[in-house]
Amino acid sequence: MAAAAVAASGRFRRQLMRRLLAPTQPILRFDPRLMGSSAHGETSKADPKETPDHNYESLRVTSGPGHVLHVQLNRPDKRNAMNRAFWSEMVECFNKIAKDSNCRAVVISGAGKMFTSGIDLVDMASDLLQPQGDDVARISWYLRNLITKYQETFSVIEKCPKPVIAAIHGGCIGGGVDLVTACDIRYCSQDAFFQVKEVDVGLAADVGTLQRLPRVIGNQSLVNELAFTARKMMADESLSSGLVSRVFPNKEAMLDAAFALAAEISSKSPVAVQSTKVNLLYSRDHSVAESLNFMSSWNMSMLQTQDIMKSVQAVMEKKELKTVNFSKL
């Protein structure tokens, strides 16, 4: 059976390539009607469905149309402050999402009036300010392990192969900046502001902002100013600096756009999309030569996917990609 399937696959590829290379075949041109028409009909207005595999104290995870998951910071009465449960639940949540073959894109937002007020100092004080022990080396070892654990809370978003879209409204303070800079795409509403708050509570940001923000906005002077002063960066400045790619008049419009974008992404080949994310991140952290070598090694297997044939055939037949049945990944 396996040999027959491989042979059939080879015949299909050869037939499709003959069609592509035939002299009578019309030249394929970009048709904007093929882009995005499926996504824009699928917005946040769709009824969300609870996901039985995700039960958390600080998060709410629902599924929408188009293989999209919605992860909400869900402590609205506490301005989505990051309590002790949050730091472990985010890791559990995104480790599950990374392995979820039904999910192809993720939207992160905050319930209530703001995205997040940052770390919940009341809940976390005993861990951070009153570590156990009376030996400097052992207390330091404990704190190092704790900080490393908290760093993984946001690194797990970056490691997840599914594209993650942050939809930010109201305040995005302290740990919120750590979170959104680990995401792949950032949208915000006009009332949003960003604040690297850590210096105001006597510490240097230590779970991602100082490492990712300079790479995201590419302006070291601005990063230094924000980190040294803890001043607010409002929506328009965040757009002009490159922290976000779009600003919307209100939260509802922003969420509609974020879910439309997620649905658009999820209509593409999951092999292509997830391979793209992996290689973009690798290229960020390596030289051009190293990244090209990694890319050739990666695509030596990924180019053999049936998704290429399905995508090309859909374009040739002027079908929308949402009609293509891509296998789970």
Helices (H) and strands (E) in the chain, counts: 12, 10
pLDDT for 200: 94
Closest CA to 156 of 214, 259, 87: 87
Strand 59-64, strand 68-73: pairing: antiparallel
- Exactly one of 206, 237, 252, 320 is catalytic; name it: 206
- Exactly one of 191, 198, 256, 307 is catalytic; name it: 198
- Exactly one of 110, 175, 176, 208 is catalytic; name it: 175
Cβ–Cβ < 8 Å for 315, 34: yes
Judge whether 206 counts as a catalytic residue: yes
Return the domain boundaries, the chain: 39-266, 268-329
pLDDT for 38: 37
- Exactly one of 42, 120, 178, 307 is catalytic; name it: 178
- Exactly one of 97, 119, 168, 217 is catalytic; name it: 119
Judge whether 237 counts as a catalytic residue: no
Cβ–Cβ < 8 Å for 244, 234: no
Task: Give me the DSSP letters along 30-51.
Answer: --GGGSSTTGGG--TTSPPEE-
Q: Which helix (H) or strand (E) holds 105?
A: strand 105-110
pLDDT for 49: 85
The letter for the amino acid at 200 is D
Question: Measuring CA to CA, how many Å separate 106 from each of 3, 31, 241, 258, 284?
Answer: 37, 27, 24, 9, 21
Judge whether 198 counts as a catalytic residue: yes
CATH assignment, 39-266: 3.90.226.10
Strand 193-195, strand 171-173: pairing: parallel
pLDDT for 10: 58
Judge whether 53 counts as a catalytic residue: no
Closest CA to 212 of 248, 187, 175, 265: 175
Judge whether 178 counts as a catalytic residue: yes
Cβ–Cβ < 8 Å for 321, 314: yes
Mean pLDDT in consecutive groups of 10 residues from the start of the chain, 329 residues: 48 54 39 35 56 92 90 97 96 97 97 95 78 84 92 97 98 97 98 96 94 96 98 98 98 97 94 96 96 96 90 84 84
pLDDT for 18: 55
Question: In 213-247, which positions are buried (b, 16+ CB within 10 angstroms) versus exposed (e)?
Answer: bbebbeeeebbeebbeebebbebeebbebebbeeb
pLDDT for 313: 87
Residue 142: partners with Cβ closer than 8 Å, 6 or more residues away: 131, 132, 133
Residue 203: partners with Cβ closer than 8 Å, 6 or more residues away: none
Q: Which CATH number, 3.10.20.600, 3.90.1150.10, 1.10.645.10, 1.10.12.10, labels domain 268-329?
A: 1.10.12.10
Task: Check: pTM over 0.75? Answer yes or no.
Answer: yes
CA 172/CA 192 separation, integer angstroms: 7
